[in-house]
Amino acid sequence: MSLDLYSKEETPTWKKILFIFSIVLAFIVLVIFSYNQFSKIPQKSAKITSINIELAKQGTEEQQVQREFVLEAESKLNEFKQIYDQKVNFDKFFNEFGSWVYPRVSFLSLTIDVASSKLTIEGQTDTLQSVMQQLILLDAKNNILSYTISNIEIGENGLVSFNLELNINPELFKKDEQQ
């Protein structure tokens, strides 16, 4: 028995017609898809947009005034939200600040520079020893990065006045994530 590798069987005519029909059908579907995708859909989209614009223009004068009022209010609320989100939270700072003060020392003024995390404080106390105790207390605090004391003066009435400049941890001004 010999096997003929080169002989070809003739394919039936109906298979040839079916193959040609499927190629023509695929071409027609591709043409229709391309036409809709690149011609009809953008036209319909533009038409829908223009109809939406016309609908927005329609309405009574009172509705338009109300719409403008609402849009203006929304704009102001968004501006307020941005300002509120940028505000500094002093709660954590003042909770911590209370533990930095030696009992016999009183502070006359406090200036806070949030951008550079610096405090400028004018203080007074009854003795020079209380000033030293205040400095020891500041040394023990982790949130105080550095400090400078200046203008130490003993007044005629015995009160000691001084100025402090503190560099503190900027995390004290950050908002808690829980809020």
pLDDT, tens only, 131-165: 898 888 888 888 888 888 889 888 888 888 999 99
Q: 3-state class of 174 per DSSP?
A: coil
Alpha carbon distance 111, 97 (integer Å)? 13
Q: Examine the domain organization and report whether 74 and 148 are in the same domain.
A: no
Is the pLDDT assigned to residue 82 strictly greater than 70? yes
Is the pLDDT assigned to residue 1 strictly greater than 60? no
DSSP H/E element including 134: helix 128-139
Q: Range of 78's domain?
A: 14-84
Is the pLDDT assigned to residue 64 strictly greater than 60? yes
Q: Examine the domain organization and report whether 107 and 122 are in the same domain.
A: yes
pTM of the prediction?
Answer: 0.49
What is the residue type of 148?
Answer: T
Domain annotation covers residue 4: no
Alpha carbon distance 84, 2 (integer Å)? 93
Q: Which residue's structure tokens are 């027609």?
A: 28
Domain annotation covers residue 2: no
Between these two residues, 176 and 70, which has the higher pLDDT value? 70
Q: Which residue's structure tokens are 């020079």?
A: 128
100 contacts 137 by C-beta, under 8 angstroms: yes
